[in-house]
Structure formats: structure tokens, C-alpha cells
Amino acid sequence: MGAWAAFLLAIVFVFAAVSKFRNPTGTEKSIAALGLPFPKVLASLLPTVELLCSVLLAIDPRSGGPCAVALLVAFTTLIAAQILSGNPQDCACFGSWSTKQISSWDLLRNIVLIALGVLATLD
């Protein structure tokens, strides 16, 4: 079960990274709108980290799982803060493919992805 969870999660991270790499300007704007520092740097760094995490998930799910969980917990915290602010911004979680206002559905999606990361770790 853990190998499948790692595989699915790796695909999600690859898709998210490639989508961000295809539209660096949109990624940078989304990061800036979320109020994060150094949006230009993060627009390059974030998809790179997502790709590296997906490679780690494929090579060693027991190491890649915690990496994925850490990233997803950070993303989920950011999403929750946006929702609680009462003024959620658009999020390009999957690049320009998914630019939409942050909602509780994003929280639910991330909780499911975190569970996949935990399953990948426990295999």
C-alpha cells in the first residue's frame, strides 16, 4: 500500500512542479499575493523542491514520505491561514492549471495527500 501511496504522491508533486515551471511569472505572482517573501526566488525553488521530493518518493518512500508530509503540512498551514484571514488569495497550487481562490476543499485535498505521505513512510 505504501508503494502505491508514494507513487501517487510523486505524480502529484511532478504535476505541480511542471505546472509551476511552465508559468514562472504566474507562480511568482501567486506567491507574492500570498504574502510570502522573495517570490522570484520561491517561484524557482518551490517547483525544484517538489521535483526533488517526487524523486525521493520514487527512490525511497520511507525518506520521501516525511519530505512530502513536511511540504504538505507547510502548504496546509499557509492555506488555513489564508482562509482564517477572511480574504483568501488565489493559489496556483498546480500552476496556472488551477488558479482559483483558496477554499476548504484545498485543505481537504492536502489532508488526503498528507495521509498518502504517511502511508508511503510506513511501508
Q: What is the pLDDT of residues 66-116, one digit of tens each?
A: 999 999 999 999 999 989 998 788 777 776 666 678 889 999 999 999 999
Predicted pLDDT of residue 92: 72
Structural domain spans, the chain:
2-122
Whether the CA torsion 20, 26, 28, 31 is positive or negative: it is negative
**Residue 101 identity (one-letter amino acid):** Q
Q: pTM, whole model, 2 decimals?
A: 0.91
Which of 17, 110, 113 shows the shortest CA–CA distance to 65? 113
| Mean pLDDT for all residues in the chain | 91
Q: What is the pLDDT of residues 27-56, one digit of tens each?
A: 999 899 888 999 999 999 999 999 999 999
